[in-house]
Chain A
Amino acid sequence: MQIGLTLRAGLVSLLLFGALLAVWHIAIGGSEPAVKMDPEYAKLMGATATQGKSAMPGPADVAAKIWQHLRDPFYDRGTNDKGIGIQLAFSIARVLTGYLIAVAVAIPIGFLIGMSPLMSRALDPFIQIMKPISPLAWMPLALYTIKDSGISAIFVIFICSVWPMLINTAFGVATVRREWLNVAKTLEMSPARTAWRVIMPAAAPTILTGMRISIGIAWLVIVAAEMLVGGTGIGYFVWNEWNNLSITNVITAILFIGVVGMLLDQLMARLQRMVAYAD
């Protein structure tokens, strides 16, 4: 029955995908007959103007574009034109740097907050105010004060991904079961050993949940940040193709962003399963 369900779900997914493609194909088709134009003039105009072609590409156009990018993902034709593989690598490197700094900051502070109700109350207003700020709002401030666009992008990743981890760590640490702490006390464990051997494993699933939310946010933020600072990365790629009004490339990039985001999330999900335990 289990296998049957997976199989059926897969089938439904495929059907939905097919239906989506069909609707997409039909929606952009039906181009009007060409407007009568002086051939001299028509030569100077684009296909949307001369053949009434929709500005929106069809599924076949996008598939061809994806294939073209996959065939040669690492080309380098100068500072402003690099393959999609290189752009993704730049983005992932930036995300991981900002994210790892956030992990290094959020988990110790989260522990502190979780173990001390006083700190928890005291820091709460700051966290609540800082948490909902959009990455784009940080950008001008970062550029102006840090004076380096690369570091600014990493800072924005850091500042946006730190909060979910901080909150989850604090929550996880604060809700470790009393009995377990009491047992540790009875066994005369040192506070450091208690933190490492009791609280850490007990809070790990909650912490990992925070980390999983954070990596998703970091990946959301990078695209916006790179569109703003430019240079390299998948966000710059989207901006550059928007500049050229190449919707085909923009859709391609969106798909790549989605796939990479999913892979990062799956990676965290796997880690999460490793630390999961049953009560």
Chain B
Amino acid sequence: MSFDNPLDAERPLHANGCNCGQHLTQADHDLATTGSSDARLSRVVESAVVRAVFPDDTTRRTFLRAVGAATALAAISQFFPLGRAMEAFAQTGAPEKKDIKVGFIPITCATPIIMAHPMGYYRKHGLNVEVVKTAGWAVIRDKTLNKEYDAAHMLSPMPLAITLGVGSSSVPFTMPAVENINGQAITLAIKHKDRRDAKDWKGFKFAVPFDYSMHNYLLRYYLAEHGLDPDTDIQIRAIPPPEMVANLRADNIDGFLAPDPVNQRAVYDGVGFIHVLSKEIWDRHPCCAFAASREFVTQTPNTYAALLKAIIDATAFATKPENRKQIAEAIAPANYLNQPTTVVEQVLTGTFADGLGNVRNVPDRIDFDPFPWQSFAIWIMTQMKRWGQIKGEVDYASVAQQVFLATDTAKLMKEVGLAPPDTTSKTFVVMGKTFDPAKPEDYIKSFAIKRAA
């Protein structure tokens, strides 16, 4: 979480309960203790800086235990003027451009971008934003490259792919915020309800929303871990999310790894069941992202800052479980997701029907956390390379740093004349296997099933 106190040595690293024990989750605790959005904003800046200085959790804890939070803050402030960074970020001038367009795909991943409209977050930050529903990922990419959209909802691998020039012309793109973590699932057709072991899935046809998507990489990872080669044993097609349920009903595909509400909609209509949630593959994985061209970021910095603040603000509101019902009601109408409210509510609250007659309760089925860990970018690039989407040498760390702006902080640090630290990375576990962002090539080599040489 990037809303928590980075100067607290006792902060738990996993989200089960909070560190004072009085709140259900860390998110509750943080919002109860931090309160206002200004405080939250300074927390985000502090968080990014402290993490930049101490990318490793153990080091940070040891340091904080040794010297105490107040000393640590004072020490960091000496070489990095935290106050000024917060000020610079909080008191940017009036937006250069007030009327802006943000594109989105109607899925719950886009929750922060969408809800900021009906719930007034854009207005609060002085922007007149039009959120425009778009038909598919390729179109949203082209419209953003065309500058019809100032910023857009994208899949987190897309800004990387665009920057690398994979599957489109190469344009420097940035991804200042992750929108959601978790919130996807593998859904299978009802007729497969007795074939729950992935080893039996040879010959299945699966759909994913886009080639450059977490969905594609997670599905391939999941299948490969079960000994299936996703290129030869299975057919994977890119189908836009809205068409997935119709295709599943028509028996064109056996299942899909898709964003919600598509999974829940398949259950709601009685055509499929939820096999695994993506959080069971990789807990707290990133999915969709808020992306903008580097040009937009550098030419209209105040607009960009206001937009990012509105989205961070909305994200903070969305992290609170008790707000989720209200959000579901705000984003379900035809102007936004165009889905029955109960479907959206089941996705956001995590109390849902699984399609096999059970009601499951998984509060973090989808969660929201804007911090764009650069190690996420590195993992995504390892998978692009693993499956042959990119070839040859990749400068993982520098691309990750250019695209995943973990780092308005880095920008602000440059402004005040300091060299920003290398990366803001962390290790994480995908299906029981630890990923070390420092050794991406070794990670690729460790897989038995891969396309890369």
Contact = CB atoms under 8 A, between A and B. Distances in A.
Given A81-B334, A144-B142, A228-B135, A244 B269 contact: no
B342 to A, nearest CB: 6
A80 B133 contact: yes
Interface in A59-79: 77-79
A149 interface: yes
B270 A48 contact: yes
B393 to A, nearest CB: 29
Contact of B338 (A40, A41, A43, A243): A243
B425 to A, nearest CB: 36
Contacts of A118: none
Given A149-B146, A228-B135, A49 B270 contact: yes
A140 B136 CA distance: 12
B353 interface: yes
Contacts of B87: none
Given A242-B242, A245-B246, A46 B335 contact: no
A231 interface: yes
Given A44-B346, A229-B135, A149 B335 contact: no
Given A80-B132, A144-B142, A228-B135, A37 B357 contact: yes
A78 B335 contact: yes
B6 to A, nearest CB: 38
A249 B143 CA distance: 27
A151 to B, nearest CB: 10
Nearest to B338: A244
A194 B361 CA distance: 82
A46 B270 contact: yes
Given A46-B270, A143-B146, A240-B334, A229 B246 contact: no
A45 interface: yes
A149 B352 CA distance: 38
B135 A244 contact: no
Contacts of B135: 227-230, 236, 239
B267 interface: yes
A124 interface: no
A152 to B, nearest CB: 9
B268 A45 contact: yes
Given A37-B357, A229-B135, A244 B142 contact: no
Given A46-B269, A147-B146, A227-B135, A81 B359 contact: no
Given A228-B139, A230-B139, A44 B335 contact: no
A77 B131 contact: no
Interface in B112-160: 130-136, 138-139, 142-143, 145-148
A41 B148 contact: no
Nearest to A235: B135
B207 to A, nearest CB: 15
A236 B333 CA distance: 16
Interface string B365-400: 000000000000000000000000000000000000
Given A40-B359, A44-B346, A231 B132 contact: yes
A55 to B, nearest CB: 7
Interface string A183-210: 0000000000000000000000000000
B106 interface: yes
Contact of A244 (B145, B270, B334, B357): B334
Contacts of A228: 135-136, 139
Contacts of B243: 242
Contacts of A49: 267-270
B340 interface: yes
A143 B245 CA distance: 28
A77 B334 contact: yes
A210 B197 CA distance: 60
B426 interface: no
A230 B342 contact: no
17 contacts: A38-B357, A40-B359, A44-B353, A49-B268, A49-B270, A55-B269, A79-B130, A81-B333, A143-B139, A144-B142, A148-B146, A149-B142, A227-B135, A230-B139, A242-B246, A244-B339, A245-B265
Q: Which 4 A-B pairs have the closest CB atoms?
A: A49-B270, A81-B335, A243-B242, A44-B353
